[in-house]
Structure 1
Amino acid sequence: MLIPLLLIPVIYVLIALTLSAIPPSVREARSLNFERLTGRETAQAPELQIFKARDGQAMSYAHYPADTRLKVILVHGSAYHGRYLAPLASHLSAAGIADVWVPNIRGHLGSGQRRGDIERIGQLEADMDDLIALIRQNDPEAQIVVGGHSSGGAFAMRYASGVGAGLVHGYFGLAPFLGPDAPTMPDTDSGWAHISLPRIIGLSMLNTVGIRVLNGLETIRFNLPERYRDGSETLGYSYRLMTNFALRPNFEADIAGLPERSIIMVGSKDEAVKAEAFPGLFKRLGKNAEVLDNLDHFAIVLDDSTMARLGAWLSAQSSHTN
Structure 2
Amino acid sequence: MKAAVIVTSCIAALLVLAFAAAIAFGGPAKAAPLASVNAPFAKVDFSAVPPARRFQARDGASLAWLHYPATGTQAPNGRRVVLVHGSSGRGQSMHMLAQGLAQAGFSVASLDMRGHGDSGPRGHAAYIGQLEDDVEDFMKAVPHAGPSTLVGFSSGGGFALRMAGGSRQQLFDRYVLLAPFLRHDAPTNKPGNDHWAAVGLPRMIALTMLDRFGIRAWGDLPVLNFALDEAASRFLTPSYSFTLASAFGPGDDYRASVRNARGDVRLVAGSADELFDAPRYAEVLAAAGRTVPVTLVPGVNHIGLTLEPAAVAAVVRACH
TM-score normalized by the length of structure 2: 0.90
**Cα distance 1:218–1:230, how it changes in 2: closer, same or farther (>3 A)?**
closer
Matching of residues 117-156 of structure 1 within 5 Å: 117-136=124-143, 139=144, 141-156=145-160
What's 2:202 paired with?
A: 198
Q: What residue ranges of structure 2 are gaps of 5+ in the alignment?
A: 71-75
Per-residue deviation, 1:26? 1.8
**Alpha-carbon distance between aligned partners in 1 of 2:317 and 2:61, rounded to the nearest angstrom:** 36
Per-residue deviation, 1:312? 2.2
**Alpha-carbon distance between aligned partners in 2 of 1:275 and 1:187, rounded to the nearest angstrom:** 13
* Structure 2 counterpart SS, 1:84: helix
- Structure 1, residues 270-304: CA drift from partner, whole Å, max 9, x if none? 11111121121123332222221100011111122
Q: What residue ranges of structure 1 are gaps of 5+ in the alignment?
A: 316-322
Per-residue deviation, 1:9? 5.0
Would the aligned equivalents of 1:18 and 1:202 in 2 still touch at CA under 8 Å? no
What's 1:320 paired with?
A: none
The size of the alignment, in residue pairs, is: 309
- Structure 1, residues 76-103: CA drift from partner, whole Å, max 9, x if none? 111121112111111211221x111111
**Cα distance 1:27–1:99, how it changes in 2: closer, same or farther (>3 A)?**
closer
- Identity, in percent, stands at 30
**Alpha-carbon distance between aligned partners in 2 of 1:59 and 1:268, rounded to the nearest angstrom:** 34
What's 2:309 paired with?
A: 304
Would the aligned equivalents of 1:266 and 1:290 in 2 still touch at CA under 8 Å? yes
What's 1:250 paired with?
A: 253
TM-score normalized by the length of structure 1: 0.89
- Indicate the larger mover: 11-20 or 87-96: 11-20
Question: Runs in 1 of length 4+ with deviation above 6 angstroms?
Answer: none
**Alpha-carbon distance between aligned partners in 1 of 2:22 and 2:127, rounded to the nearest angstrom:** 21
Residue 269 (1) aligns with residue 272 (2): yes
* Structure 2 counterpart SS, 1:45: coil
Per-residue deviation, 1:189? 3.2
Would the aligned equivalents of 2:82 and 2:110 in 1 still touch at CA under 8 Å? yes
Matching of residues 274-293 of structure 1 within 5 Å: 274-284=277-287, 285-293=290-298
Matching of residues 1-322 of structure 1 within 5 Å: 1-2=4-5, 4-5=7-8, 9-21=12-24, 22-28=26-32, 30-66=34-70, 67-96=76-105, 98-112=106-120, 114-136=121-143, 139=144, 141-189=145-193, 191-226=195-230, 228-229=231-232, 231-284=234-287, 285-315=290-320
- Indicate the larger mover: 284-293 or 75-84: 284-293
* Structure 2 counterpart SS, 1:50: strand
